[in-house]
Structure 1
């Protein structure tokens, strides 16, 4: 989860004093990096995935399942037995927001050869086995996007009560501070977001209205001092802490490009796929013990770290703040970075004009300058006393402080100072899947997509405002089968910056392109194609594979993964979200009241665990895949 500095964290009042200092030196650090590596070419195409896990404990006597708050000790052992003993160890482990969470990545990035695709699932399996070997008999490691009863009484082991009134980090009515990772970055972020915002974060998720769900659905909160009563909306599930968003798990992929230009092109193209792949990977329909009316966690995370004040949200006139800001710092991107994308930048971009002009004067082009100047309208949130005065020539902590707390759907990542690492982009919207097979399938699908985009010079760009609309659509219940998404009709047109730019100017279309270039499509059409409408991504990927030298084993693995994507898109196979909904709806204890009891949750998590361990088949989720653990 971004930069993990160690040291003495500053509170918000102290942090605020250093905000301009950090922004100023962050820009200097960015310019130093840029000037050293802007002309770097021919970096090897490398990539890697990140999988986040939750640690659970079974209470078979009372038929409950809880989140176990001891991943710090497990992480220490994993690192001691792994990277600290052998720098070439095949896995790497990092902390995550929850003290019940952990993140695993491959020890070294994957390369550009097709055979690498045949090792992804095996490495994920190795990670799961490594961490699982340190668990107690009644514990298990799960790749669940959102724990259904997160924030319900007694959801942790050991059990801790929330501290809404006392001096605490989140002051949540539901989420105890002990469920936050012990690393000071996480509690500092939680506290400083709340202090900067001048109130607790507000998360309202529409509840699924079943036959016996109260209408209107209105909760009362005995410990509330009035803040929840003001914030909670009728017919919504109310949550009030960063942990409800950052305490969920996801699946991410980072790519190293050959050059900065290729990274910018890839960043733009992949941005259009964020909503599509998010809907395809939908896996989080339950929150705080209730059935919601959404299938993805995106807006929940966005709200959980929304540090904007009332002035910045447009609720009060600007007085103490500089900008009206339309989005949380965790949200979709606000501008394309390549020259191909410039005419599709139709979202009003709020930038720090002083920083923008400084970057232009330093030789940064307009598109990259406005991207950085937009990120830097934000304040730093987590500052350590020991990290205030840095060597700007050889360190980048101040730049990363702002960069890593702009949690956008895509992230554009300059190389670290004095490293062999190249320009990278990070694809961030996917929900984590239940099994290693599924997670590997989604990762391989996205990586293959990048290879095809680069090889065929494909163009999927549409106005950025339409991508935002797609992100809203993607989170709706069963959006994968019922939603309609704006998508480009002709991906082979390609981008000719000179001609496209001239045509746009000539037609008076400085931004936004033309609506003849895109239309509304179902995900089935986008993924599998429809005659006369769109060729489909799977047919393009299959064509690409036919032209590549791929060994039989690897080809079989890839086709197996693509079959899963194809069938999820067509509705032949369920998403995790739909499968979980059906399990709850058919549970004998479910009263059609949108409530997920301890017993329902226990049975659901038990079934998930049996599926992961191969003790039970689940053909409605992923058919009958070949079990490849290498």
Structure 2
């Protein structure tokens, strides 16, 4: 979610006077940080995952399920155990942090996984133990699911129930009460309030509705019972209307961060993985239902992007520029607009807005042009979270002004400098688009697949670069319903290039003949007489590794799951959820997913995720090991 600092958060009106100051000092902090740590090297790969969970409460008598807004209570217990371990000098098995929703918890390993491939045998075990760590604190009618709740915004979707009133209508929303926002850290409500105040209007999204045989045409909702017409004036026909940051930031995701050898490798890996992000977004699709309605999208990405859109009307191009400097094409939560390694700049074919004065400060600070443009582009966004006690900082040792903007640019990839005060941590890259999966087996599989891709890149120096505009287009296609089967994505045909070819590539982008539109199946598994597929490179890399039989068996199961998801033999979670709804005897083929259907769906998902039931359709022949087996 970003920087979780403590202090007295400023309102947007109070923040305005400090914006230029924070940006200038944030740039100075980055320059100092970059030069202080640019020679830091770490020889060992270390990596970790971040899994976000939703706490749900089942009402078996009425066949309803709601989100349980007790995350703060649970976190208090989990954090107290962390503090006790810290005071005794004992390592923590897991680390827990709050997230936007009052029902959400984010868990990470207590320490990163090591560089040996044998660590892949422990990822799933760690995730299972993490889940168990929360489960032991839950009530009998509660459960923990790694998924995005499909009924946000329906009446009383929280437990305890929260009725929408003028007093608790969260920043103009007709669906989302304040009680559904995390209360254990001031950041979340203040972030939302400042986003709305900066934008000048409430946040809203319109998601295309899935048109089933009995869905009204046009599909038009009656919102009159929710309030005055101005409260829902932005709703569009044939769309699902959402009007709160929680509809996006309240969804769960799976992220992977890995440490690189040095800053150069981090920049290069950031670029090389960027074209892979749309493929993983489509491959991990897991969010097809919004406000208990089937949609025409399968992921949270576009909804999260719109939910964090704090651009003013001028920045969105709705009014002529008068008070703002730029028309900004994207939300601060979206795909990246530029590569950052010097060898990649020829593929930056999107006009990049950046603050010229800050850019010149970076250049004068001896930051090279690609990196200077990347940072200056991040800094066209204003700080949304400023703490009064932390305005005055020492730019030589502090980095909070830099991080408050860096960490609130939620893009598909993130370049992460090391913290100044922790010499054990190196330069890192974060892979951000993956949708969280239902089971620990699936989440471990996706994490290991992504990490293996980084090893392939480094071992074979493969080259996945395509024009950044095509990455943007691919990210749009990846969100479409059943994109794994229905969409094609721009991808490089020849990724195993000679040094000579690589040298030529730097002088200009690829021509059309060197890029092909491929399906996810072709990108992952390869095509006859064409691109050999990402799996072939991973297999080649594993063939060169001296692995124990048990580790290789675990990795092979993970890779087989990914391969079959890519081919469509095993459906994505989003596809499986759609099928469950459409096959339910109470579904009326009108795109509406009733309380009872959601209850049965989540009961089924809970049974699968906790290992009580094996679902052949979702997991194929792969039987995840029990905790005792692991």
TM band (smaller chain): over 0.9
Asked if structure 2 preserves the Cα contact closer than 8 Å seen for 1:204 and 1:232, the reply is: yes
Question: After superposition, what is the alpha-carbon deviation per residue over 1:207-251, rounded to whole angstroms, capped at 9, x for unaligned?
Answer: 000011111111122333333443111100010100000000000
Give the secondary-structure state (helix, strand or coil) at the position aligned to 2:176. coil
Asked if structure 2 preserves the Cα contact closer than 8 Å seen for 1:207 and 1:292, the reply is: yes
Asked if structure 2 preserves the Cα contact closer than 8 Å seen for 1:350 and 1:374, the reply is: yes
- TM-score, structure 1 normalization: 0.97
Give the secondary-structure state (helix, strand or coil) at the position aligned to 2:512. coil
Q: 2:326 aligns with which of 323, 329, 349?
A: 323
Question: After superposition, what is the alpha-carbon deviation per residue over 1:125-163, rounded to whole angstroms, capped at 9, x for unaligned?
Answer: 01000010000000000011x211111001000011234
Q: Partner residue of 2:9?
A: 9
Distance 1:610 1:496 in 2: 55
Q: Partner residue of 1:544?
A: 541
Q: 1:280 aligns with which of 280, 283, 298?
A: 283
Q: Partner residue of 1:40?
A: 40
Q: Partner residue of 1:155?
A: 157
Q: Partner residue of 2:429?
A: 425
Q: 1:13 to 1:466 in 2, by over 3 A?
A: same
Distance 2:44 2:367 in 1: 25
Are 1:224 and 2:227 counterparts? Answer: yes
Q: 1:517 aligns with which of 514, 518, 521?
A: 514
Distance 1:494 1:338 in 2: 19
Distance 1:233 1:84 in 2: 52
Asked if structure 2 preserves the Cα contact closer than 8 Å seen for 1:170 and 1:242, the reply is: no
Distance 2:255 2:587 in 1: 34
Structure 1 residue 517: deviation in Å? 1.9
Give the secondary-structure state (helix, strand or coil) at the position aligned to 2:278. helix
Distance 1:465 1:267 in 2: 16
Q: Partner residue of 1:54?
A: 54
Asked if structure 2 preserves the Cα contact closer than 8 Å seen for 1:462 and 1:517, the reply is: no
Distance 1:224 1:493 in 2: 61
Distance 2:454 2:241 in 1: 38
Q: 2:567 aligns with which of 565, 570, 575?
A: 570
Asked if structure 2 preserves the Cα contact closer than 8 Å seen for 1:298 and 1:429, the reply is: yes
Structure 1 residue 82: deviation in Å? 3.3
Correspondence list, 1:169-568, <5 A: 169-182=170-183, 183-221=185-223, 222-420=225-423, 421-493=425-497, 499-500=503-504, 504=507, 509=508, 512-568=509-565
Structure 1 residue 496: deviation in Å? 6.0
In structure 1, the gaps of 5 or more residues are none
Asked if structure 1 preserves the Cα contact closer than 8 Å seen for 2:169 and 2:177, the reply is: no
Q: 1:167 to 1:607 in 2, by over 3 A?
A: closer
Distance 1:497 1:111 in 2: 34
Give the secondary-structure state (helix, strand or coil) at the position aligned to 2:392. coil
Q: 1:501 to 1:517 in 2, by over 3 A?
A: closer
Q: Partner residue of 1:620?
A: 617
Asked if structure 2 preserves the Cα contact closer than 8 Å seen for 1:45 and 1:111, the reply is: yes
Distance 1:622 1:83 in 2: 38
Give the secondary-structure state (helix, strand or coil) at the position aligned to 2:179. helix
Structure 1 residue 500: deviation in Å? 2.2
Distance 1:176 1:88 in 2: 38
Distance 2:159 2:601 in 1: 19
Asked if structure 1 preserves the Cα contact closer than 8 Å seen for 2:169 and 2:176, the reply is: no
Q: 1:497 to 1:342 in 2, by over 3 A?
A: farther
Distance 1:591 1:527 in 2: 37
Structure 1 residue 418: deviation in Å? 2.6
Question: After superposition, what is the alpha-carbon deviation per residue over 1:421-443, rounded to whole angstroms, capped at 9, x for unaligned?
Answer: 11111000000000000000000
In structure 2, the gaps of 5 or more residues are none
Question: After superposition, what is the alpha-carbon deviation per residue over 1:276-327, rounded to whole angstroms, capped at 9, x for unaligned?
Answer: 0010000000000100011111000000010001100111011111111000
Q: 1:495 to 1:52 in 2, by over 3 A?
A: farther
Q: Partner residue of 2:70?
A: 70
Give the secondary-structure state (helix, strand or coil) at the position aligned to 2:58. strand
Question: After superposition, what is the alpha-carbon deviation per residue over 1:311-360, rounded to whole angstroms, capped at 9, x for unaligned?
Answer: 00111011111111000000000100112211100011000000111101
The two structures, once aligned, show a CA RMSD in angstroms of 1.4
Give the secondary-structure state (helix, strand or coil) at the position aligned to 1:173. coil
Distance 1:575 1:83 in 2: 39
Give the secondary-structure state (helix, strand or coil) at the position aligned to 1:141. strand
Distance 2:498 2:489 in 1: 21
Structure 1 residue 9: deviation in Å? 1.1
Structure 1 residue 498: deviation in Å? 7.9
Question: After superposition, what is the alpha-carbon deviation per residue over 1:575-618, rounded to whole angstroms, capped at 9, x for unaligned?
Answer: 00000000000101100010011000000000001111222211
Asked if structure 1 preserves the Cα contact closer than 8 Å seen for 2:42 and 2:426, the reply is: no
